[in-house]
């Protein structure tokens, strides 16, 4: 009888844990960007920035900008301050639609990528060859570590899992004690 009650209690506890588990959300998301999605700029930016909601690291060449007729902007060294990536750019190309593609590595090691579409209403000036005297290499500054027990990416907080575990253990112990008392 005791084994049966214990089995029922464990099955019930497992069901409660599974039902309360949130969907997996290990990846950070883009919260904002400059230029913003769909922006129409009268002058090209001198730098771009991307703000993310969670911890990440940068891969090589994390930002690329492509425009009409395949025009490529030169992107300088990307830096991370807290959860914002910033990189200087040297715009070149005609007026029209541009796409900023970005990539980061989420805290769990998986790559995350995205696109931001914007446009220039006037052509970007092309720098003279003497103005571009060095090549750009992406560098990174580590993202700020996340405090234990917090979740910035919408996941279930660690403290809630601890409370659920304590309640489940207490329920199992109560079933065992009640079973022993009734069999005595």
Domain CATH for 97: 2.60.40.1220
Distance, CA of 32 to CA of 29 (rounded, Å): 9
Q: Which residues contact 78 (CB under 8 A, 6 or more apart)?
A: 58, 62, 63, 85, 86, 87, 138, 139, 140
> Quick check: pTM over 0.95?
no
80 and 168 share one domain: no
Query: Which tens digit of pLDDT belongs to each residue from 61-100?
Result: 999 999 998 889 999 999 999 899 999 999 988 999 999 9
List the chain residues with pLDDT less than 70: 1-27, 126-161, 163, 184
159 and 127 share one domain: no
Domain count, the chain: 2
51 and 119 share one domain: yes
8 and 37 share one domain: no
Angle at alpha carbon of residue 43, lines to 63 and 102, rounded to 5° = 10
Candidates 105, 107, 104; CA nearest to 146 is 107
pLDDT of residue 151: 38
Any idea how long the chain is? Answer: 184
Q: Which residues contact 126 (CB under 8 A, 6 or more apart)?
A: 92, 93
105 and 46 share one domain: yes
Distance, CA of 93 to CA of 125 (rounded, Å): 7
127 and 46 share one domain: yes
Strands 56-57 and 96-106, bridge-based pairing? antiparallel
pLDDT of residue 126: 55
Q: Is residue 24 part of a domain?
A: no
pLDDT of residue 49: 95
Do 87 and 140 touch, CB atoms closer than 8 A? no
């Amino acid at each position: 009888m005791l084994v049966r009650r214990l089995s029922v209690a464990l099955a019930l506890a497992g069901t409660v844990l599974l039902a309360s588990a949130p969907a997996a959300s290990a990846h950070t998301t883009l919260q904002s960007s400059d230029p913003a999605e769909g922006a129409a700029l009268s002058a090209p930016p001198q730098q771009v920035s991307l703000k993310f909601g969670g911890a990440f690291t940068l891969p090589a060449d994390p930002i690329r900008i492509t425009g009409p007729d395949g025009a490529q902007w030169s992107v300088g060294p990307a830096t991370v301050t807290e959860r914002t990536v910033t990189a200087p750019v040297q715009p070149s190309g005609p007026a029209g639609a541009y796409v900023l593609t970005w990539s980061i590595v989420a805290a769990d090691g998986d790559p995350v990528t995205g696109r931001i579409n914007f446009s220039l209403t006037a052509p970007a000036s092309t720098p003279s060859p003497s103005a571009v005297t060095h090549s750009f290499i992406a560098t990174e500054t580590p993202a700020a570590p996340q405090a234990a027990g917090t979740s910035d990416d919408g996941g279930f907080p660690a403290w809630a899992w601890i409370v659920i575990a304590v309640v489940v253990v207490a329920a199992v112990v109560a079933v065992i004690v009640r079973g022993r008392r009734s069999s005595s």
